[in-house]
Every structure is written in structure tokens, then in C-alpha cells.
């Protein structure tokens, strides 16, 4: 047996908590008829967004196309995504974790890091016991399982949560790190991609243990800082702080929508892009942010991507300005005879508006548009997001986003409680309503 | 240096030090130049724009653009109004109906099986997951892959049965271990 690479147990105690098949589990928790069956969400996207463990057992993987899934697993139950319910449960998930520590990094809708360092004494429990109790609360109150990794660093905690899924709890104290890394392929840890992994293998590093046995100078010589950090973290030295503040996701805003059937009509595809531009700009205005740069992306039927980026002379969140500006860029990207299935807009380098008058006196005009968009947003907030839109996106508003059976909406949106409207529902997750 | 960046840096200085920098400090620590003339020009530009102010002695003072935390107003001395005192003890309808927010779910009642408990089809039930049920509670259980709402009864010998509030429906004697999903905490009927 090899020698340990670090001493002690938990100089820091970091949890990584990961919802098991989160979206599919949210569905199984609200509807007992789905339990024990292969459940897949993502119907409206045409690919599996999340699949229950029963579906995983049949070989269904993430992003698999629905047509393929039907061949592989004909009994699969394929549901449209119900993001409203998933978000409500995600928020509850984080709230429950915060009962145990305020230091929580919401890393995704279905996973978070939590720093428990120092909480053993107040709770009169070991870190492992606290993690068990938290896991129990989550399962009891949300109705499905979570996997937890406990270690001194984020990278190790993340390895731990994956170690034994579903419903696993894996604690990796520092003095046992080497046992976990011994046979772990170098491509496994969070942050080591295929490029880095193949480069490491060229240097004879095949397992994570090989990697952490190399000395610091060697890593510093051949690899950039992010990889050096992973090296430290794998050795049990915490160098990646938790990002406790709500993630500044809105510092960039993306809107991507897939449509079916795919189209090769430039007017239709451009209308789809315009609809995304309008939604993205509305969101940016909601956050009171303006973009300095934007990019657009077209996805073909064969999943090829074509994109371009544009730097703006002045930050903006006005849709009409972006539509005018991006039309020629779109024409350059668009290839005749190619089928497209999705468009995307990204607003990047977002910043708060600079309210100072500019040199060229266009600020009055800008102020006029600002007030116009305020009114438009008010109307949209009251009567629905798509009640007012540009002529440019007209074609995208003509039909539902997906023709045929994929256009189905989740049960929650079809089943309204008295007093709810299609735009405003009670913020409490629901059980499916088959009762006798 | 761009005047906006300069302004942001002065703002950052103010937040760190809780005071405004002197023009010399702006020259040495913020712009990092040797030219006092250049520094004064940049600062004067900000003063002209109204972002910075100078006091009588010519020292820089912050404008209200600098306060990140706003005053919440003044507390007026005097007798507190009795009405306000009373209000401290009220709760919202939400708080009254929901004890454990993270564990509470909603569902619509279907069927007649609890009609004699006053629970009608179309009523909205608030239910709480993860609580240990007691004898007499109304619970949501999963029977044959479906939700069912029944009374939870513990018979002598600790046997659990699910009892409907309607004689037309049978009492359920679970064969295997029964999983109680949630306990009904409120029934809401909206007209």
C-alpha cells in the first residue's frame, strides 16, 4: 500500500451536494406513478436533459436524442421540462443546506458546495454526522435523494459526491486521499479536460495519484495556474474559495431556443434570433445592465455551430439596435440549404448604465428609447412576454416553439389552481393530482 | 485614465478608507502619474460633471453617489403608537398556513373519499413532507402507485390502517411497509 500524501482528517470541511438525477427525481417525487420507471425530461428540446436511474440503467445518457431513446428503451416516459417546479425545489435545496451553514456556493440548479468548517462543536456532531443529517433532511423534505462528498477541498468533495451515487455519502479525510486517487484516471477530477488529460498522460501521469506525487515545481513548469490549483486541491490543500455571493450570472446573459422542425428559411431563423434578442434585452433591462459585446450562434441540424462576436460602440440593452446591427452578421453566417435547429444570443461584458450625457448629444434620444422600453416592459409584465414584439420576430411568434407532440407543456402549466393564471402561479411545488 | 474608471477607483478608495483621497493621493495611488497638472485636470473634470464636489478649502468631498448604504430615515422620539406595537405580533396568511416552508407542497383534492371530513373534490390541500404522522392525522400515502388521502390510524399492536371519511370507501390495510409521503396541514377552498 502506498504512503499517504497528506495528514490529518479535515483541516477544512467542504461538502459537495449533488441532486441525484435532479429533474427526473423532481418528477418522480411529485408523481408516484413515475417511480421505479425510466423517466426522461427534456421532451421540448428533443434530447434527454435528465434521466432517472432506471433510465440510466437502460443505457440512456444525457443529451441523447429522443428518437434514439425510444429505440433503446421503448417504455421510457418522456416528459417536458417543468423548470418552474425544478427551480422551486432547487431553492428549497439550498435553503435546507443553509440551515447547517451560511457558507453555501450555489454551483448549479442541482448542486452546491457548503463549508462546514468549525461547525462540529456547535452541533456536537462530527462532520460526517452533520452531512448525514443534512442528507436525511433533504430526502425527507424534498422526497428524493442527494449524494454528498465531504473533504478538505472542493475538488475532492466533488470527487466524493460522484464516488457512490445515488444517495451516497463519501468522506475523504486527508490521510486517506491516496486511497481514493490510486486508481482514479487522470481525466476524472473536476476541471481536468480531455486536452490536459492527454497531455498529462504524455508525461506518464495516468492516475490522479501519479499526478499528486509529482512535485510542485514540475506542475508549475508545465501547467497553467488552474491545473496547479487542482493539483493542490487534490492534495488536500484548499486553494479554491467558495463563492458565497449569489453567482453573478447576469454578468452575461444568454438566450438560446431550439425550434422544431428545423428550418432553412433565413427569414424564419432570423425571426427566431430576434425573439431571443428581445428576451435577452428584456432580461438585461430587468437587471439594469447594458452589454458592451454581443455574440450570436446558429446551430445546424447536425449540431455544428457557427458564431460571431460584435463589439459595440456604446453599451446597450435596446433590442432594435442589436437587431439592426446583427442582421448583416446573421446574413454572413447563414448558409443556404442548411437546416438550422437553434439560435442563440449572448450579451457579454454587461455593466451598469452610464448615465452621464455623452459628447455627441444622442443622450436625449437614448433617454426617449429608455422610457419607451420601460413602457414596453410594463405591458409585457402585465399581459405576457410576447404581447408586444418586433415585426422582425413576427414569424417566430406565429407558431408554438415546437410543432407536433414536442410542443407539450408540463402538467403544472396546464393544471391551474383556482385564481392562478397562466402567467402567475403559487410559488409552492405541487403533487400530481391523481387521488381516489 | 478614463474619467469613469477614475471615478470608480475614487469610489473604491472611499469605501476602503471611509474618507475621500486628497488630490496628491489620487496622483500617487490612483492614477500613478508624476504630473500634478494632469491629475488636477482629471479631478476638475469630475467636479464639473458633478460627480465630485470641493469644499470651501478646496478639498474633495463625496456626493451622494458615494454612499453605498442609504440612511433608513430618522427614528422619531416620542411614544410608540399602540397600533404599531400590536402589529408586531401579526403574521401573514402564508406564515399562518405554512409551518415548514421547505417541506410544504400543494395538491388538488380529487374524489369523495374524505367527504365526511369536510374535504371536497376541488379543494386545495397543503401537505408537509418528512413529518412523523400521529394517530388521527390526515395523510397522503402512495398506494399502488397512486396518491391517496386518508386518516392515519394506529391499531392496537401498532398496526397502521388508512381510513377514509366516507363509508362507501374501503379501509386500506397495507400489506407491505407503508410509506407515508406527507401530512395534510391545511385545506383551502377558494370560491
Any CB–CB contact under 8 A between A415 and chain B? yes
Task: Give the residue-averaged pLDDT of A397-413.
Answer: 70
Tell me the pLDDT band of B30, cut-offs 50, 70 and 90: confident
Per mean pLDDT, which range of A327-336, A356-365, A419-428 is the poorest?
A: A356-365
Here the cell at position A298 is 446558429
Taking an 8 Å cut-off on Cβ atoms, the answer to whether B108 and A417 are in contact is: yes
Both ends of chain A: CA-CA distance in Å?
Answer: 60
Any CB–CB contact under 8 A between B111 and chain A? yes
Task: Give the residue-averaged pLDDT of A188-216.
Answer: 94
Percent of chain B with pLDDT over 90: 43
Select from A287, A288, A307, A283 the least CA-distant residue to A297.
A307
User: Can you give the residue ranges of every domain in chain A?
Assistant: 14-172, 174-234, 249-402
Here the cell at position A302 is 447536425
CB distance A346 to A253 below 8 Å: yes
Catalytic residue, candidates B150, B158, B175, B190: B150
Strand-strand pairing, A290-300 and A340-351: antiparallel
- Among chain B residues, CA nearest to A95: B102
Task: Give the residue-averaged pLDDT of B2-21.
Answer: 82
Among A residues 334-393, those touching chain B with beta carbons less than 8 Å apart: 354, 356
Task: Select the more confidently predicted residue: A27 or B59.
Answer: A27
pLDDT on residue A361: 57
The C-alpha atoms of residue A126 and residue A138 are separated, in whole angstroms, by 19
How far does B83 lie from chain A, in Å, by closest CA? 31
Mean pLDDT taken over chain A: 90
Any CB–CB contact under 8 A between B147 and chain A? yes
Ramachandran angles phi, psi of A20, nearest 5°: -80, 120
Order of strands, sheet of B180-188, starting from the edge strand that comes earlier in the sequence: B104-108, B124-129, B180-188, B138-143, B146-155, B159-163
Kindly report, residue by residue over B87-122, the tens digit of the pLDDT.
567 888 999 999 999 999 999 999 999 999 999 999
Tell me the pLDDT band of A403, cut-offs 50, 70 and 90: low
CB distance A236 to A177 below 8 Å: yes
Per mean pLDDT, which range of A50-54, A137-141, A397-401 is the poorest?
A: A397-401
Any CB–CB contact under 8 A between B146 and chain A? yes
Ramachandran angles phi, psi of A200, nearest 5°: -60, -40
pLDDT on residue B77: 54
Task: Give the residue-averaged pLDDT of B176-188.
Answer: 91
CATH of domain A174-234: 1.10.150.20
pLDDT on residue A360: 58
The C-alpha atoms of residue A35 and residue A53 are separated, in whole angstroms, by 10
Decide if pLDDT at B85 tops 60: no
Any CB–CB contact under 8 A between B25 and chain A? no
Architecture of the domain spanning A14-172:
2-Layer Sandwich (3.30)
Here the cell at position B45 is 473634470
Sort out which chain B residues have CB atoms less than 8 A from A415's CB and list them. Answer: 108
Taking an 8 Å cut-off on Cβ atoms, the answer to whether B106 and A426 are in contact is: yes
Per mean pLDDT, which range of A73-82, A247-256, A268-277, B26-35 is the poorest?
A: A247-256
Task: Select the more confidently predicted residue: A173 or B4.
Answer: A173
The C-alpha atoms of residue A64 and residue A43 are separated, in whole angstroms, by 11
A11-38 exposure pattern, b = at least 16 Cβ within 10 A, e = fewer: ebbbbbbbbbbbbbbbbbbbbbbbeeeb
Any CB–CB contact under 8 A between A95 and chain B? yes
Task: Select the more confidently predicted residue: B176 or A162.
Answer: A162
Q: Which residues contact A70 (CB under 8 A, 6 or more apart)?
A: A76
Percent of chain A with pLDDT over 90: 66
Q: Which residues contact A126 (CB under 8 A, 6 or more apart)?
A: A120
Per mean pLDDT, which range of A9-13, A20-24, B69-73, B93-97 is the poorest?
A: B69-73
Select from A302, A381, A284 the least CA-distant residue to A340.
A302
The C-alpha atoms of residue A372 and residue A391 are separated, in whole angstroms, by 16
Task: Give the residue-averaged pLDDT of A360-384.
Answer: 83
Q: What SS3 state is found at B49? A: helix
- The domain made up of B3-66 has a fold known as Arc Repressor Mutant, subunit A (1.10.10)
Strand-strand pairing, B104-108 and B146-155: unpaired
pLDDT on residue B71: 46
Model confidence, pTM = 0.70
Both ends of chain B: CA-CA distance in Å?
Answer: 65
The C-alpha atoms of residue A213 and residue A201 are separated, in whole angstroms, by 14
pLDDT on residue B29: 86
- The domain made up of A249-402 has a fold known as Dna Ligase; domain 1 (3.30.1490)
Decide if pLDDT at B63 tops 80: no
- Among chain B residues, CA nearest to A415: B108
Select from A413, A283, A263 the least CA-distant residue to A338.
A263
Torsion of CA A19, A21, A26, A31, to 10 degrees: -140
The C-alpha atoms of residue A429 and residue A434 are separated, in whole angstroms, by 16
Decide if pLDDT at A216 tops 60: yes
Decide if pLDDT at A249 tops 90: no
pLDDT on residue B62: 77
Torsion of CA A320, A324, A329, A334, to 10 degrees: 80
User: Can you give the residue ranges of every domain in chain B?
Assistant: 3-66, 96-188
What is the homologous superfamily of the domain B96-188 according to CATH? Umud Fragment, subunit A (2.10.109.10)
Residue entry with cell 447547517 = A100
How far does A428 lie from chain B, in Å, by closest CA? 6
The C-alpha atoms of residue A266 and residue A365 are separated, in whole angstroms, by 32
Evaluate the CA torsion angle A263, A266, A267, A270 in order and state its sign: positive
Q: Which residues contact A283 (CB under 8 A, 6 or more apart)?
A: A250, A253, A255
Decide if pLDDT at A349 tops 60: yes
A327: burial class by Cβ within 10 Å (0-12, 13-18, 19+)?
A: middle
Tell me the pLDDT band of B70, cut-offs 50, 70 and 90: very low
Who among B4, B111, B140 is closest to A431 (CB)?
Answer: B140
Task: Give the residue-averaged pLDDT of A201-228.
Answer: 95
- For A86-98, give the DSSP string: HHHHHHHHHHHHT
Kindly report, residue by residue over B144-169, the tens digit of the pLDDT.
888 999 999 999 988 999 999 999 99
DSSP classification of residue A210: H
pLDDT on residue B66: 64
Here the cell at position B20 is 475621500
Taking an 8 Å cut-off on Cβ atoms, the answer to whether B102 and A415 are in contact is: no
Sort out which chain B residues have CB atoms less than 8 A from A430's CB and list them. Answer: 105-108
Taking an 8 Å cut-off on Cβ atoms, the answer to whether A356 and B127 are in contact is: no
Q: Which residues contact B112 (CB under 8 A, 6 or more apart)?
A: B121, B166, B168, B169
Q: Which residues contact A100 (CB under 8 A, 6 or more apart)?
A: A114, A116, A119, A123, A130, A133, A134
How many Å separate Cα B46 from the centre of its chain? 40
Amino acid at each position: 500500500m502506498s504512503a499517504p500524501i497528506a495528514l490529518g482528517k479535515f483541516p477544512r470541511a467542504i461538502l459537495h451536494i449533488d441532486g441525484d438525477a435532479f429533474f427526473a427525481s423532481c418528477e418522480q417525487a411529485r408523481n408516484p406513478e413515475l417511480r421505479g420507471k425510466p423517466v426522461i425530461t427534456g421532451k421540448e428540446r428533443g434530447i434527454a436533459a435528465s434521466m432517472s436511474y432506471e433510465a440510466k440503467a437502460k443505457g440512456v445518457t444525457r443529451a441523447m436524442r429522443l428518437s434514439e431513446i425510444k429505440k433503446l428503451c421503448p417504455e421510457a416516459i418522456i416528459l417536458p421540462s417543468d423548470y418552474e417546479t425544478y427551480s422551486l425545489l432547487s431553492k428549497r435545496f439550498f435553503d435546507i443546506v443553509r440551515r447547517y451553514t451560511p457558507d453555501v456556493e450555489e454551483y448549479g440548479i442541482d448542486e452546491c458546495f457548503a463549508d462546514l468548517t468549525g461547525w462540529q462543536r456547535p452541533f456536537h456532531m462530527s462532520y460526517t454526522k452533520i452531512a448525514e443529517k443534512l442528507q436525511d433532511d433533504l430526502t425527507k423534505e424534498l422526497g428524493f435523494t442527494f449524494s454528498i462528498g465531504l473533504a478538505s477541498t472542493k475538488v475532492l468533495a466533488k470527487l466524493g459526491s460522484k464516488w457512490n451515487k445515488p444517495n451516497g455519502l463519501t468522506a475523504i479525510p486527508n490521510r486517506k486521499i491516496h486511497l481514493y486517487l490510486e486508481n482514479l484516471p487522470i481525466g476524472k477530477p473536476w476541471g481536468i479536460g480531455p486536452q490536459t488529460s492527454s497531455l498529462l498522460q504524455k508525461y506518464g501521469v495516468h492516475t490522479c495519484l501519479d499526478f499528486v506525487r509529482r512535485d510542485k515545481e514540475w506542475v508549475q513548469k508545465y501547467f497553467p495556474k488552474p491545473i496547479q490549483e487542482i493539483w493542490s486541491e487534490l492534495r488536500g490543500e484548499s486553494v479554491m474559495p467558495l463563492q458565497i455571493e449569489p453567482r453573478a450570472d447576469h454578468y452575461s446573459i444568454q438566450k438560446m431556443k431550439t425550434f422544431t422542425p428545423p428550418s432553412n428559411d433565413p427569414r424564419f431563423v432570423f425571426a427566431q434570433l430576434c425573439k431571443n434578442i428581445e428576451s435577452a434585452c428584456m432580461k438585461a433591462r430587468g437587471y439594469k445592465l447594458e452589454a458592451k459585446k454581443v455574440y450570436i450562434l446558429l446551430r445546424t441540424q447536425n449540431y455544428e455551430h457557427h458564431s460571431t462576436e460584435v463589439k459595440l460602440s456604446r453599451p446597450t440593452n435596446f433590442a432594435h439596435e442589436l437587431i439592426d446591427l446583427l442582421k448583416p452578421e446573421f446574413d454572413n453566417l447563414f448558409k443556404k440549404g442548411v437546416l438550422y435547429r437553434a439560435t442563440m444570443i449572448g450579451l457579454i461584458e454587461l455593466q451598469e448604465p452610464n448615465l452621464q450625457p455623452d459628447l455627441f448629444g444622442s443622450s436625449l434620444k437614448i433617454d426617449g428609447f429608455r422610457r419607451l422600453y420601460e413602457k414596453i416592459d410594463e405591458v409585457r409584465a402585465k399581459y405576457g412576454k410576447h404581447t408586444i414584439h418586433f415585426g422582425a420576430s413576427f414569424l417566430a411568434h406565429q407558431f408554438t416553439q415546437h410543432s407536433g407532440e414536442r410542443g407539450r407543456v408540463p402538467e403544472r402549466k396546464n393544471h391551474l389552481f383556482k385564481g392562478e393564471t397562466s402567467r402567475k402561479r403559487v410559488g409552492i411545488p405541487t403533487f400530481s393530482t391523481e387521488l381516489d | 485614465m478614463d474619467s469613469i474608471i477614475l471615478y470608480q477607483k475614487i469610489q473604491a478608495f472611499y469605501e476602503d478608507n471611509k474618507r475621500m483621497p486628497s488630490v496628491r493621493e489620487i496622483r500617487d495611488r490612483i492614477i500613478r502619474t508624476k504630473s500634478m497638472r494632469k491629475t488636477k485636470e482629471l479631478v476638475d473634470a469630475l467636479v464639473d460633471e458633478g460627480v465630485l464636489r470641493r469644499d470651501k478649502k478646496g478639498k474633495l468631498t463625496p456626493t451622494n453617489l458615494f454612499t453605498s448604504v442609504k440612511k433608513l430615515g430618522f427614528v422619531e422620539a416620542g411614544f410608540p403608537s399602540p397600533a404599531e406595537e400590536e402589529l408586531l405580533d401579526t403574521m401573514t396568511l402564508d406564515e399562518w398556513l405554512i409551518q415548514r416552508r421547505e417541506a410544504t407542497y400543494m395538491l388538488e383534492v380529487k374524489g369523495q373519499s374524505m367527504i365526511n371530513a369536510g374535504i371536497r373534490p376541488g379543494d386545495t390541500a397543503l401537505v408537509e413532507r418528512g413529518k412523523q404522522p400521529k394517530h388521527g392525522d390526515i395523510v397522503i400515502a402512495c398506494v399502488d402507485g397512486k396518491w391517496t388521502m386518508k386518516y392515519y390510524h394506529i391499531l392496537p399492536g401498532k398496526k397502521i390502517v388508512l381510513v377514509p371519511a366516507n363509508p362507501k370507501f374501503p379501509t386500506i390495510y397495507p400489506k407491505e411497509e407503508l410509506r407515508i409521503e406527507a401530512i395534510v396541514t391545511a385545506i383551502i377552498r377558494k370560491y
